[in-house]
A and B are shown apart, each in its own frame.
Chain A
Amino acid sequence: MTSKAAQDKNRLPHPLKALNFLSGMQSRWKTFVIATPFAWLLIFFLAPFFIVAKISLAELTISSPPFSDMIEWVDGTIISVRLVFDNFIYIFDDPLYARTYVNSLKIAFISTLLALLIGYPIAYGIVRSGPVAKQLLLFAIILPFWTSFLLRVYAWMGLLADQGTVNNLLISLGLIETPIRMLYTEFAVYVGIVYTYLPFMILPLYANMEKLDGTLNEAAADLGSGPINTFFKITLPLTMPGVIAGALLVFIPATGEYVIPDLLGGGNVQMIGRQLYNEFARNIDWPVASAVAIVLLLLLVLPMAIYQHYQGKAAERS
């Protein structure tokens, strides 16, 4: 009985059959669309990290490439797997590294806070402008982001140098007599990070504020809340996702920043990105450089996970 019913089913041009065919078509197409970028990222993004992790556990050797192999082949069989934690121990033992990590996090944190304090009112100001002004202002925020990062940092070298524009201006105004040292100080690094990363703070904030329901502010006012109270009780809590996204978009890359401490901080500001680059370029100690990178990555895993969590939530909501 059952088999006959099954046979009947097979013979009938059941509508589900047609769907089956369609899903077959779809799945081949789907596989192509997913697999191509997936494979690219697996090979060129994920795999390199595993190699870095591997090298961080290797020893420095005088050869090309300048690191030992974790697995040694003798007589066609693996005879030894050597994990060397020396590089990590070296990093943790050396107070220079510890200080550099802490300093990087501190500079990134303060810069993020400054960028937030400057970026928030700008983003809010843009959201509250008329439709045409809004487009133009937004464009004016994005435009510097398209022009060269390096040259924007360079612009501040000219401003902050001992004989730079700012010092010249202050001297000619009679406010100071001898130039203030600004270039190659931590101050210059703060300015540089805030300046170059400001659009990254403003754009997510703007995107978030743009969705704010203006009637909520009216409702708060109607219920007796003045403008300042309304800001702290309604607007700020509702824009927290934007604040978090913007803050992380500044904080994470700023922690590993190399160009800004190098050009504006000179040798006087220790940040881990610069340390890493030096380890790799000057000392050619790749195992240590890899270990430095792994520790930096571990420090940033949490903020990155938070960022992705919020991105995912934002995508779901839309």
Chain B
Amino acid sequence: MLQGRSKFLTFMLFAGFIFLYVPMILLIIYSFNYSKLVPVWGGWSTRWYKELFESPEVWEAVSLSLQIAFINATFATVLGTLAGLAMVRFGRFRGRTIFGGMLVAPLVMPEVITGLSLLVFFISLKELIGWPAERGFTTITIAHITFSLAYVAVIIQARLTGIGETLEEAASDLGAKPFKVMKAITLPRLAPGMLSGWLLAFTLSLDDLVIASFVTGPGANTLPILIFSRIRLGLRPDINALATIIIIFVAVLVSLAAYLMFRQQKREIMDHKMAQSIKS
């Protein structure tokens, strides 16, 4: 293990974190600005929050985005977990290379390409079988599942390689059939990975603008689409307020999840240490 930072590294860490956090902190501060012109300070106020809460458009967008994110996260977690298992636990199978490729590609594929291709796909499909009749909720959800599952698969693959296969082997040696092994051993051990996968898929969906813009139809505005349409024209104090709520909400949620995972990890380490001390 490497230890010890030089002054240069400490400085870079410090500067790096200022770079990362100051813009967001300023964004939050200016959400409490009375002035209609965002950068001109006009005293503290919460008027933009009030305005925000009174806008039905915003509430509709939030509700749509949350619904899509929830369904997306659930489906993506199931499919991504299966994909991760297939990649790590089943050795070679026909089409593994293509499969692996399709699992990595969405992570790096420019969003405009994914968005455009899904759009023309949905249109062609409608020509062919008459479904989906209208673009919006369903098409956005399908598009989100498609790229989210790749992210979940990455997390699951990492976790699976980390935990090894001995326990599964022990279970099947003791007579458990493959499905039972999966239920009793693999899934419980994968649970933390699946939880992070779910959370990631959820936030990815909440965050996506480009792909949703391509595959959405008239009237179906997700939150990012709404925000984007407003900020294209310049700074808007109500968006600062909305941003503040989103940032704080996500930060609290993610910190909590991270804290729980960190505690779990720490407990494992402590257990290990205790076992060591008893042995010696």
Contact = CB atoms under 8 A, between A and B. Distances in A.
Nearest to A159: B23
A121 B13 CA distance: 7
B1 to A, nearest CB: 5
Interface string B86-116: 1000100101001111111111111111001
Interface string A281-318: 00000100110010011001000100110011001001
B3 A258 contact: no
A33 B12 contact: no
B177 interface: yes
Listed residue (B39, B102, B182, B239) with the most chain A CB atoms within 10 angstroms of its CB: B39
Given A127-B2, A150-B207, A163-B39, A48 B112 contact: no
Given A163-B40, A214-B3, A155 B146 contact: no
Given A25-B178, A158-B38, A280-B116, A125 B10 contact: yes
B83 A37 contact: yes
A18 to B, nearest CB: 12
B146 to A, nearest CB: 4
Given A51-B121, A318-B161, A258 B112 contact: yes
A46 B179 contact: no
Contact of A125 (B5, B157, B228): B5
Nearest to B105: A304
B13 to A, nearest CB: 4
Contacts of A121: 8-9, 12-13, 16
Contacts of B82: 32-34, 36-37
A33 B103 CA distance: 14
Chain B interface category by residue count:
35 or more
Contacts of B21: 140, 144
A52 interface: yes
A37 to B, nearest CB: 4
Interface string B230-242: 0110110001100
A122 interface: yes
A187 to B, nearest CB: 15
A34 B92 CA distance: 11
B140 interface: no
B227 interface: yes
25 contacts: A25-B177, A25-B178, A29-B178, A30-B90, A37-B80, A37-B86, A38-B86, A41-B102, A46-B102, A52-B117, A52-B120, A65-B123, A119-B16, A148-B243, A150-B209, A150-B231, A151-B227, A154-B239, A198-B16, A217-B2, A248-B108, A259-B210, A259-B228, A276-B116, A296-B112
Given A168-B39, A280-B214, 15 more contacts: A41-B83, A41-B149, A44-B118, A44-B146, A51-B124, A143-B254, A144-B21, A146-B251, A151-B227, A163-B40, A198-B16, A252-B110, A256-B110, A277-B213, A308-B100
